[in-house]
Chain A
Amino acid sequence: GGNGGNKSSGASGGNGAAGEAQSSSAAPSAEQAAAETPVQGGELTYALATSPDTLDPARSGLAVASRVYRSIFDNLVVKDANNEIKPWLATEWSVSDDGLTYTFKLRQDVKFQDGTPFNAEAVKFTFDRILDPNTKASNSASALKPYASSEVIDDYTIKLVLSTPSRAFLVNLTQTTLGIVSPTAVEKYGDQFGKNPVGTGPFKFVGWQENADITLERNPDYNWGPETASNQGAAYLDKLVFKIVPEEATRIGSVQSKQVLAAETVPPQNIAALKADSNFQVLQVETGGLPYTLFINQNKEPWNELKARQALQYGVDIGSIVKTLYLGTYEQAWSALTPSMFGYDASLENSVQPDADKANQLLDELGWTVGSDGIREKDGKKLTLHYVDGSPNREKRNDIAVMIQQQLKKIGIQVDVEITKDVATKVFQNDDYDIYGNSQVNVDPNALSQFYHTAAPGVLGNIAHVSDSQLDQWLEQAAVEKDDTKRAELYKNVQQFIKDNAVILPIYVFPYTVAASNKVKGLAFDSVGYPQFGGVYIQK
């Protein structure tokens, strides 16, 4: 059946309205500004914290790259603030009953920025290219899974065939990595497409000076924006320039000295001052997916024992860590999912409170007794916890390690913190860690399978090495469950299980934070927190 009735993934389980930024400036907020008449023209300079690796959606794995090419490429569908799937380049779609084929009707008025017409061939080209191992498109390939092949029905109709049914497939099509690329441009630039990206988005690529800036300009023909965008037509800005400014002080300084109009990733300690300054606004949006989570490695003794893990759960005062380090600008995470995700279990909030006595008691029960130096021992072995974290100190994660080190010392656990550039070898190859933290930006709770299923795919896999048949079963069921209520219930079971078994220590939900001059109006964010520049204008 090919009508649009079977449209989106429906009911919203999340409680976060991620679509709009929560502006917290003393000055008129972005939403209010959006109500004013937008000004045409001008240039927005936007300081990024890191450099994109490539602007080829198929190949990039970095969020920062997505923030840039989000404006260059469009997707077939879009997710709104209520986790519902809405049309974008596809006007309507249908799913076969076995869940194995998706048929999309495409917009007919769309052109790539290089003039190439957008059609079913382009869609097929984009997806097949991702499957081609020569593209080295591992990130988008995993988002595209279980896509097997596609069939062009006519110029504007395409059928996508899956190898197995997946409830996540449609949602995943909203991911930036599955943006539709111009086949002619790919042919033309080959390997270098990432430095010469061409899509159908509201901005077209102009130039990229590595480590300095990336310049985009208005795509004047654009009028196919999704309904989630405040401006479906051509962008107001003439030019959009991303500056790459890795050093925090410099980045914030460049906004304060008005060298740029906006800067991303504002460190918590600077937020208060910027908020207090009437020349600036601070915009924050929660990123969806998995929060920053510390995984406890169950392959290692004594962390294979529940009581030991629970001791960590009680011994670590996450609330204090989040409050101290992020000064109230980040939310504490309570579950394996972020609050905006479909299926988020809000009941877990405040369900675990730090309790040193309980932690001590649990460790006592396991036979770990406090030694002369305050560290617990058993059979002549000290109770140590090998805490691995990556470098650089992104989002103050290293500082979390330092605080946990001090907190656990109080219950007699010696934490050896190892900060390494080479997480891949340490964690994923050698399995040499007791605790390792990670987070993931994602659009569908199916992401949980990648972390908690016994046979989690990929090298990253099941970091905690949790293995439970009941858990596996819930995850498998949820991946294909058509009934959203039931699906949400399954995911809640999963979250509950994770909490009860102290599989992880969820730490914080990362808010994407932007500081901008008050002249910048209409800056909004999509459902995963990527900025949408189409509606932005500069007030004179």
Chain B
Amino acid sequence: MVRTIIGRVLSSLLVIAGSSVLVFVIMYLLPGDPVDSLIDPASATPEQIATLRHQLGVDQPLYAQLADYFGKLLRGDFGKSLLNSEPVLPKIIEHFPATLALAAASALLSVIVGVLLGVLSAIHRNRPIDVIARIVGLLGISMPTFWSGILLLLVFSIHLGWLPAMGSDGWKTLVLPAATLGLIGGGFIVRMVRNSMLEVVNEHFIVTLRSKGLSERAIMYRHALRNALIPSVTMIGMLVGEMLAGAVVIETVFSRQGIGRIVADAIMAKDLPVVQGVIVFSAIVYVLVNLLVDISYSYIDPRVRRAA
């Protein structure tokens, strides 16, 4: 087990390094210049711009910038924003909790709702409950988030005034964004759980359980669900990626703090160190979560534990 984890961590490091190189290259290829947003084009002279570019180091060739970046990264230095010289790491650390809260809340929401609906849907296959659950699930994955977000906002905060429209302080501000984002995750999980439930129900061991005289309730919730959850757990790991991505839009719609907005802004402004930092950071989170998923996997599924 420990061995596997070490192996995983090592290969994860490779992956993280890879993703940051990749982002670096993409960002390097972006046209435009971080300097543009630093300088008023109305008055700046080409010399000024050249000086500024030199100061920022963006006039260096790609490999030199990369080497410089990794040199610093190894020393734990994520660099400074090109735009306002703010150090990147504290910035990410400042904004990450809000995104984490959002991602966690929506993951929780989607897991609870998704599993519940998925199980009901599978148990009551082709009955009204199933139809409703499937439609809810499908809607969740069929609506553009910014649209569903704004709709929720109109209803719950403007018309009903129940919940705040924006901000990132307090649990109340979390409800609408988490619901919007959770809708997608929930949608995926409903489908996943339903499918795997239906598959598990056809497994031989279900017949054994019935032949033992267990109640349907015990069979469904104690046995079938646990087996059906195994594939869904992987899904939850992947969902973290989705949630981080979804945060970009959701945080803008609900004016929440978070790394989603930072990175979107930074991409537009070509603020490379910030983009890099966020990507490396979220890659770490992604890898970590998936590592956790793998570990928790072996708790849910003894077959995996043995293989490890």
Contact = CB atoms under 8 A, between A and B. Distances in A.
Assess A/B contact in the complex (Cβ within 8 A).
yes
A257 B252 CA distance: 18
A145 B44 CA distance: 12
A459 B44 contact: yes
Given A211-B258, A249-B154, A425-B32, A257 B43 contact: no
Interface in B17-49: 31-33, 36-46, 48-49
Given A257-B164, A259-B167, A450 B252 contact: no
Given A141-B43, A250-B166, A457-B45, A257 B158 contact: yes
B153 A249 contact: yes
Interface in A246-266: 246-247, 249-251, 253-254, 256-259
Interface string B153-176: 110011001001111110000000
Nearest to A209: B257
Contacts of A142: 40, 42-44
A133 interface: yes
A141 B84 CA distance: 17
Interface string A458-496: 111100000000000000000000000000000000000
A477 B94 CA distance: 53
29 contacts: A53-B84, A59-B84, A133-B51, A138-B40, A138-B48, A142-B44, A209-B94, A209-B257, A211-B258, A212-B168, A247-B253, A249-B150, A250-B166, A250-B254, A253-B157, A254-B157, A254-B164, A254-B165, A256-B158, A257-B165, A258-B161, A259-B166, A422-B31, A450-B42, A458-B41, A458-B45, A459-B42, A459-B45, A460-B40
Nearest to B40: A139
Given A53-B37, A136-B52, 9 more contacts: A142-B42, A210-B91, A210-B257, A253-B153, A253-B154, A425-B31, A428-B41, A457-B43, A458-B42
Contact of B83 (A53, A258, A421, A458): A53
Interface in A193-246: 194-195, 209-213, 243-246
Nearest to A61: B40
A54 interface: yes
A40 interface: no
Contact of B95 (A211, A254, A424, A440): A211
Interface string B129-155: 000000000000000000000100110
A114 interface: no
B42 to A, nearest CB: 4
B262 interface: yes
Contacts of B41: 424, 428, 458-460
A253 B165 contact: yes
A192 interface: yes
Contacts of B164: 254, 257, 259
B65 interface: no
Q: Is the interface of B mostly helix, strand, loop or mixed?
A: loop
B166 A191 contact: no
B62 interface: no
B43 A247 contact: no
Contacts of B268: 421
B203 interface: no
A245 B43 contact: no
A51 B268 CA distance: 14
B32 A422 contact: yes
Contacts of A141: 43
A213 B98 CA distance: 14
A259 B166 CA distance: 8
- Size range of the interface on A? 35 or more
B208 interface: no
Contacts of A250: 150, 153, 165-166, 253-255
Complex A-B, nearest 3 residue pairs according to Cβ-Cβ distance, in ascending order: A142-B43, A424-B36, A460-B41
Contacts of B83: 53
A212 B257 contact: yes
A29 B75 CA distance: 59
B215 interface: no
A459 B55 CA distance: 19
A56 to B, nearest CB: 9
Contacts of A138: 38-40, 43-44, 48
B216 interface: no
B261 interface: yes
Contacts of B95: 210-211
A428 B37 CA distance: 13
A428 B40 CA distance: 12
B4 interface: no
A250 B45 CA distance: 39
A253 B164 CA distance: 9
B53 to A, nearest CB: 12
A136, A139, A460: which has the most chain B beta carbons within 10 Å? A136
Interface string A144-182: 010000000000000000000000000000000000000
B52 A247 contact: no
Contacts of B199: none
B86, B95, B158: which has the most chain A beta carbons within 10 Å? B158
A21 B76 CA distance: 51
A210 B262 contact: yes
A460 B40 CA distance: 8
Nearest to A246: B252
B157 A421 contact: no
A191 B85 contact: yes
Nearest to B259: A211
A247 B158 CA distance: 14
B134 to A, nearest CB: 30
Contacts of A460: 40-43
B4 to A, nearest CB: 39
A237 to B, nearest CB: 20
Contacts of B251: 211
A250 B95 CA distance: 20
Contacts of A258: 161
Given A250-B254, A458-B41, A459-B41, A211 B261 contact: yes
B40 A259 contact: no
Nearest to A260: B166
A245 B150 CA distance: 13
B32 A210 contact: no
A406 B165 CA distance: 37
A210 B87 CA distance: 13
Contact of B40 (A53, A251, A458): A458
B42 A245 contact: no
A210 B94 contact: yes
A209 B262 CA distance: 12
Interface string A268-287: 00000000000000000000
B227 to A, nearest CB: 43
Nearest to B251: A211
A211 B262 contact: yes
A212 B167 contact: yes
B167 A194 contact: no
A192 B85 CA distance: 7
A138 B52 CA distance: 10
Interface in B165-206: 165-169
A421 B38 contact: no
Interface string B226-270: 000000000000000000000000011111111001100100100
B175 to A, nearest CB: 14
A53 B268 CA distance: 14
A145 B48 CA distance: 15
B8 to A, nearest CB: 34
B31 to A, nearest CB: 5
Interface string A422-453: 10110010000000000010000000001000
